[in-house]
Amino acid sequence: MKNTMKLKVELENGVRLLWPTPLFNKKFDETEAINKGLVRIIHEKERQDIGKKKSIIGGWHSSDDLHLWDFPEVKEILNFISTAITEITKTSAGVSDDKFSADMTYIAWANIIRNGGMHRMHSHPGSTWSGVYYVSSGIDGPVDDNNGQISFLDPRGAVEMIPTPGNPFGQPLNLPPEDGRIYCFPAWLKHMVYPYQGSQERITIGFNIRVENFNEFN
């Protein structure tokens, strides 16, 4: 029977890691000026837009139209998102940059959370990939414990039924915020943001991507 699973990990000791979940994680360089401009733009939008109530608690979620905002800084972030989507798509499909084509539609929005704010556990139905870009982490120095970290749940059901050496199954993956960093992941992967404690604001850009009409070339 033909094995169609292209996203796989073969270890050298005869062990294969099955059903891996891809996550794009990159810190983009020299984003200070871009982020400073985005802070100004997002604050202005907050004054104009009452926002939406979704997973956010104790903060502001813009309308889902950031990808249409006509600012150079936004265009730079869309380029970062395009890089993330290209990399995670070609990895999941097992192809190189010039070996596939696809129609990609997307939406993006801004989030501001202040002291005590958080995001409930959620996923993003109807999308292929989702992600977050950190405009301002709001934290100076090391991140203490789970303060404002994004947390991903193990998507496999019933993996905690029996203790396993090393406790490798069922553990959440917590990742720290950092200015200029982007995380991109499957939209079905449940995630949350722990309550943020800090005197400054946490400002992020979230996005959803839908991939359709995917074609692979030989």
Length of the chain: 218
At 91, the amino acid letter reads T
- Cα separation of 158 and 161, whole Å? 6
Tokens 């596939």 correspond to 100
Count the domains in the chain. 1
* Residue 109 domain-assigned (yes or no): yes
* Residue 9 domain-assigned (yes or no): no
* Residue 180 domain-assigned (yes or no): yes
Q: What pLDDT is recorded for position 12?
A: 86
* Residue 5 domain-assigned (yes or no): no
* Residue 118 domain-assigned (yes or no): yes
Neighbouring-strand partners of residue 106: 209
Task: Evaluate whether 136 touches 203 at the Cβ level (below 8 Å).
Answer: yes
In our burial notation (b when 16+ CB lie closer than 10 A, e otherwise), range 113-131 reads beeebbbeeebbeebbbbb
Q: What pLDDT is recorded for position 52?
A: 87
Q: Residue 179 maps to which CATH number?
A: 2.60.120.620
* Residue 146 domain-assigned (yes or no): yes
* Residue 47 domain-assigned (yes or no): yes
> How large is the angle between the packed helices 32-48 and 72-93, nearest 10 degrees?
110
* Residue 74 domain-assigned (yes or no): yes
pLDDT per position as a tens digit, 19-42: 899 999 999 999 999 999 999 999
Q: Which domain holds residue 133?
A: 21-155+167-212
pTM score, two decimals? 0.93
Regions of the chain short of the pLDDT cut 70: 1-5, 141-142
Sign of CA dihedral 65, 129, 179, 151: positive
Q: What pLDDT is recorded for position 1?
A: 39
